[in-house]
Structure 1
């Protein structure tokens, strides 16, 4: 595993992790809200064929955590960070794939830079509208799910914060991780401080007009039991993204890449080969 310190938008330091041959076709994996590059541990086998680029987003993991809300509450910083990663690592038209909030960060990139520098675009349990612009059925489902709301994650009271972080992590799975994995996930979620969680989650964005312009292959993946991003959100994305292929994991929640990694990895590999016009093992 290679590790890079990259300067993102506004001088923010980003920690970026890099696995697989440096000359292999690159897949840029963007984790979700309050998450970490370790979210992608079960995708490491893809590095036999592809170069996996897995940043800790600004405010998360080992990356810098600016105090100002404007470092998180609009498209520009997130998009600028993705562009800086692509440029700094000289990535040749990567496939950009975002999970949950990582999908909206990927939409931020499309909004600001388009898809000229990409080979493909994918969303996992994500949205093309947030806040007031979320698909109504998805917004209604989230409004009644206390585990997803996780209001204590925005609190400086550490007891409340820990309790709701645990509830939120559990809400990300239909089939729960084993206790050791769950403990690690709660641990790396706690590396994201409350002010970052608040500013990055309380956005209201409509990306539909932006992503409707995408000309590269598109993929929309979701779990049928997804609570943070109910299936209506992915259906909304699949309607808007031109020619998108949509795949539903019938026995998964918000994290199909963890719950059903072999199938997920095969789906991502097939999509990436199509984007890069390569054959298995090439």
Structure 2
């Protein structure tokens, strides 16, 4: 069961089209419809509109009566990043799983202007809007990489009362210490993900994706990843860059279950940031993956899915 009911070849064609859209913003604004067919995919797509008018594509899988999990992806990624969780039969039987294309990504709206990306409030309101409009009851938030900031924005603006727990996955919870930055973190800047020109944009995205994995995805999976990364235009990537990322006070104030997951071979954010996050949150659990890079949920899905299921059940029982 794949998140989007298209072949991987079709996804590559979509990615190529999205590259053109990134160069022509008026075209990008039209690429906002989720897939029309849901029968084969086994999910329910729905748009949620944030208070500033940005339409967010959401995708629901699994057991509608189960405890809710809300998956938030990283920089230039998409809901499809969580494919190995969303199509896991055991998770689908037990949990109501919702994944978002964050604003500027995937099939969500891609407005131009820093006002849509720089303020923490817009990200906080996106998360709250999805929780409210989909009727998610005390979901566990799962934030990968850049989404650690999105989780921090939500907590700072709206508090933690509406969520049962948080899973930080190789996540950015603060950037104050250079020890937190891996040798390839520079790929998020002008030398790769923000490289100018078509060739630089493509090559930089490839370099960044390669750096995310200690064990490389097979060619078909990598093609799919490249396709949905190309859906995030250059101006969106630039809008995400340079935002404040100091959530230490937010972490210290948390009084709910927190699981910190991190690959020890991560070349983007080092395990030191995971140790910081786990130490800052009272009672947080740290789970390190010795053989994984920046995406342990993809590289070691069996272990990750098992630990996530256990954590969600414990978090729901604790409150």
TM-score, reference length from structure 2: 0.83
| 2:141–2:167 CA contact under 8 A, matched in 1 | yes
Deviation at 1:154, TM superposition (A): 1.8
Matched, 1:170 2:210: yes
Residue 114 (structure 1) aligned to one of 159, 175, 178: 159
Residue 173 of structure 1 aligns to a residue whose secondary structure is: coil
Residues 46-91 of structure 1, C-alpha deviation per residue, up to 9 Å, x if partnerless?
1221011100000000000110112111210000000000000011
- Per the alignment, residue 191 of structure 1 pairs with 231
- Per the alignment, residue 138 of structure 1 pairs with 180
Residue 85 (structure 1) aligned to one of 126, 130, 146: 130
- Per the alignment, residue 37 of structure 1 pairs with 79
Matched, 1:17 2:62: no
The alignment of Structure 1 onto Structure 2 pairs a total of residues equal to 273
Name the CA distance, whole Å, in 2 between partners of 1:119 and 1:146: 34
| 2:265–2:291 CA contact under 8 A, matched in 1 | yes
Name the CA distance, whole Å, in 2 between partners of 1:219 and 1:25: 17
- Per the alignment, residue 199 of structure 2 pairs with 159
Deviation at 1:210, TM superposition (A): 1.2
Name the CA distance, whole Å, in 2 between partners of 1:98 and 1:258: 14
1:239–1:169 CA distance, 2 compared to 1 (3 A)? same
* Structure 2 gap ranges (5+): 1-42
| 2:187–2:193 CA contact under 8 A, matched in 1 | no
- Per the alignment, residue 269 of structure 1 pairs with 309
Matched, 1:59 2:59: no
- Per the alignment, residue 26 of structure 1 pairs with 68
1:150–1:175 CA distance, 2 compared to 1 (3 A)? farther
Name the CA distance, whole Å, in 1 between partners of 2:190 and 2:290: 25
1:150–1:51 CA distance, 2 compared to 1 (3 A)? farther
- Per the alignment, residue 72 of structure 1 pairs with 117
Residue 192 of structure 2 aligns to a residue whose secondary structure is: helix
Name the CA distance, whole Å, in 1 between partners of 2:51 and 2:110: 12
Name the CA distance, whole Å, in 2 between partners of 1:119 and 1:148: 31
Matched, 1:236 2:276: yes
TM-score, reference length from structure 1: 0.93
Greater CA drift, 202-211 or 217-226: 202-211
Name the CA distance, whole Å, in 2 between partners of 1:250 and 1:55: 28
